[in-house]
Amino acid sequence: MSKVVADDLENNQFSSLVQFLISTSSGPLVQHGKVISITDITRKKVKFLLHKFLHVNHLSEYRILDTTAALEIVRIKPKPQTKRVEKHKRLKHPVPYGPPIPYLSGVVKPRLAIEWQGKAPYEKRRFKKRY
């Protein structure tokens, strides 16, 4: 026997839940206020049917809590998003004094000068094979 507690649902949503469970389940239902007792169906199947009901009716703000006593349909309240108004400090110029660096503007590109200690690495030469 499974109990479904739907205190957070509105009256019209609760009545549609009862109709949905009657149509989908074969076992008898007993209703006491906003508590429904279902027999002859496993707890897992009841939970599946409740998820299906919430999905079909676009009730995404509701969740199902599986407690030892009953399955509860609970409304999850989203956290209010507060807009943060922060004054940002002005960004410092990369070079506080003097003219801009020329290689940043793309006029002069720096070359990498590699100094070898000893011999330069051996380069493989490819030759075409002649037949």
Q: How far apart are CA 41 and CA 71, in angstroms?
A: 13
Per-domain boundaries in the chain = 2-75
Q: Which CATH number fits domain 2-75: 2.60.120.20, 3.30.1060.10, 1.20.1050.10, 3.30.1360.210?
A: 3.30.1360.210
Q: Give residue 106's pLDDT.
A: 53
Best CA proximity match to 50, nearest among 71, 27, 35: 71
Count of other CB atoms within 10 angstroms of residue 20: 16
Q: Provide the residue count of the chain.
A: 131
Average pLDDT over every residue of 1-18: 91
108 pLDDT more than 50: no
Q: How far apart are CA 1 and CA 3, in angstroms?
A: 7
What average pLDDT does the chain have? Answer: 79
57 pLDDT more than 90: yes
How would you classify the pairing of strands 2-5 and 71-75? parallel
Average pLDDT over every residue of 59-63: 91
Residue indicated by tokens 């205190």: 7
Question: Which are the contacts of 69, defined by CB distance < 8 A and separation ≥ 6?
Answer: 3
Q: How many CA atoms lie within 13 A of 124 on its CB side?
A: 1
Give the predicted TM-score (pTM) of the model: 0.58
